[in-house]
Chains A and B, each alone.
Chain A
Amino acid sequence: MGGFQASFQKDGGCVVNKLWPPLVTPDYTPYLAQIAGCDGVCQGFAGSNPIRFMKQYASAGLKYQVIAGEAGADDFLLKSFGDEAVGLVSAAPYTLDLESDANARFVDGMLKNYDAIPGQYAALLYSNCQVLDAGLKAAGGEARDRDKFMAALKSVSLTDTPRGPIKFDHLNNVIGTIYIRRLGKEGAKYGLKLWNKTIHTYENVSQFWTWPEKDFLAHPVYSRDYPPLTRC
């Protein structure tokens, strides 16, 4: 959420309020009652909480556009969301609707072996294992020489993961594609009624987004108070 706020404000956006419900909140109404006078709401919930949030958001009569990160609109939640989630826009490092051979193979495998429609949690972990696999192969199947294995891991660059091409920066953080999706009914597959449809793609996104590395690392660590709310 800190990253969202920092980038949003850098581009001229204005955050009017920040609310911090506990991670698991059965009823969001006390927080929803405080949302007013804005153009949109960014929710950062995870697990099953986005479902309750979107439902209670709608039933509180709120109509502002909602946006979310990867966990707040994850594809595994699609079967549980109701129509109130239609219009939710999210940014995610994996999207179920990515049309690639690697993703088709992955989704088919998940359906066949686990009878589950995967979301980012499954896809990212699967990609992690692909990286491990590629690193081991590059190191000749030998992980006992740690330095050699680590060097092999760091230089892994893959194109055939479900999330698209990935490689690593010099701090060993992943560089990959970020998909912007809008939740709707169009194009739904695998028996789902709702679908995250990709409307924009950012390629080669690093942990620094558009910030110069030095500026980014000079920031304090993101917290409830950083970045601070600014007067707008």
Chain B
Amino acid sequence: MSFWLLLTVNSITFGGLLFLLSAGFSLIFGLMRIPNLTHGSMFMVGAYLGSTFLSGELGFITNFWTAAILSAIEVAVLGALMERFLLRRLAGQPLAQVLVTLGVSLMVADLCLMGWGGDPISVETPSGLGGFLRVGPAVFPLYRVAIIGIAVVIAIALWLTLERTRLGAMIRAGVDDPQMARVVGIRVSRLFTIVFGLGAGLAGFAGMIGAPILSVYPGLDQDMLPLALVVVILGGTGSLLGSFVGSIVIGFIYNFGQALLPELAYFILFLPMVIVLVVRPQGLFGGQVL
């Protein structure tokens, strides 16, 4: 019994983490029509920066949450700069843009290796969340339950931003029809920079939030990127609901697949993606075919 409960809670936790990672990925994909292959790198850089803030090596001590927000801001700035000075120059050439993001991701991986070394860095669970939540016979790590809460709060904030603000309306217009959005006077290029920065920042934030569970190590980027891809293809690009549902579904498949069919863990992780691509290429909630 507690086996199923623990796995269920963990599936939702992992789904929450995947949502933080893939929400930005989905928006970037939907708006700019490119899979941003540096997204896993943003996740990793966020975790590395956060762990550095936390260690106090920079001369000031921060707590976990400040470190997470600081690293999210830094990664957002990095993302925005990359969009403005690299991807903008290749506007309208999706293939070139994808290749640039791939190249940058390899460079970032090597720079991180130079900067932080090859040894894994383990990040302490934030104080107060190291304990357990007891529900009947089952024991849940408190931090994992907290991640679910964080994901829900971010999801609501993103949803309100997209649905209720002028910026959100412009982003939705850009996702639906970038040409028409330009015609009615929306500065779509600037929107690209904002969304890219926002997505990168969210990925960086997710990296730090995930760090107490996953720790930080070279190769973390390549472990996370395929998961973000699966989520977005499953849920549909440019759709917040899509990445939310996709994340939870992948969280469940990932956890239960590994527990029940360990030999086929990766197969059944990517199987839904293949089926969706064949049967409904726009994804479960997406508006357009990729």
Residues on A close to B: CB < 8 A?
A: 19-22, 24-27, 29-31, 33-34, 36, 47-48, 51-52, 55-56, 59-61, 76-77, 79-82
Contact = CB atoms under 8 A, between A and B. Distances in A.
A30 B214 contact: no
Interface string B250-279: 000011111100110110000000000000
B124 A60 contact: no
Contact of B215 (A48, A59, A61): A48
A45 to B, nearest CB: 12
Given A20-B262, A26-B223, A59 B119 contact: no
Interface stretch (B6-14, B182-190, B239-247): B6-14
A68 to B, nearest CB: 16
A119 to B, nearest CB: 10
Given A22-B265, A29-B10, A51 B120 contact: yes
A26 to B, nearest CB: 5
A20 B263 CA distance: 8
Nearest to A20: B262
Given A20-B262, A26-B223, A30-B258, A80 B214 contact: no
Contacts of B254: 27, 30
A162 to B, nearest CB: 20
A80 B263 CA distance: 30
Contact of A80 (B141, B144, B215): B215
Contacts of B7: 29-30, 33
Given A48-B215, A48-B217, A33 B6 contact: yes
A27 B14 contact: yes
A95 B216 CA distance: 25
Contact of A24 (B14, B223, B262): B223
A79 B215 contact: no
Contact of A76 (B119, B223, B256): B119
Q: Which 8 A-B pairs have the closest CB atoms?
A: A48-B120, A30-B259, A30-B258, A59-B141, A48-B217, A61-B139, A29-B10, A33-B6
Contacts of B121: 80
Nearest to B217: A48
Interface residues of B, number: 37
Contacts of A26: 213-214, 220, 223-224
Interface string B121-133: 1101100001010
B256 A82 contact: no
A79 B55 CA distance: 13
Interface of B: 2-3, 6-7, 10, 14, 119-122, 124-125, 130, 132, 139, 141, 143-144, 212-215, 217, 219-220, 223-224, 254-259, 262-263, 265-266
Given A22-B265, A80-B215, A30 B132 contact: no
Nearest to B265: A22
Given A20-B262, A33-B6, A51-B120, 18 more contacts: A22-B265, A26-B213, A29-B10, A30-B10, A30-B255, A30-B259, A31-B258, A33-B3, A33-B10, A48-B215, A51-B122, A51-B215, A59-B130, A60-B6, A76-B119, A77-B120, A80-B119, A81-B122
A164 to B, nearest CB: 25
B122 A80 contact: yes
A31 B121 CA distance: 23
Given A21-B262, A24-B219, A51-B120, A59 B125 contact: yes
Contacts of B139: 60-61
B132 A61 contact: yes
Contacts of A33: 2-3, 6-7, 10, 259
A34 B124 CA distance: 25
A79 B259 contact: no
Contacts of A31: 258-259, 262
Contacts of A34: 3, 259
A26 B223 CA distance: 8
Nearest to B118: A48
B95 to A, nearest CB: 30
A31 B7 CA distance: 9
Nearest to B6: A33
A26 B219 CA distance: 11
A52 B214 contact: yes
27 contacts: A20-B263, A21-B262, A24-B223, A25-B258, A27-B14, A27-B214, A30-B255, A30-B256, A30-B258, A31-B258, A33-B3, A34-B3, A51-B122, A52-B213, A52-B214, A52-B215, A55-B213, A56-B213, A59-B130, A59-B141, A59-B143, A59-B144, A60-B139, A61-B132, A61-B139, A79-B119, A80-B215
A26 B263 CA distance: 16
Contacts of A56: 213
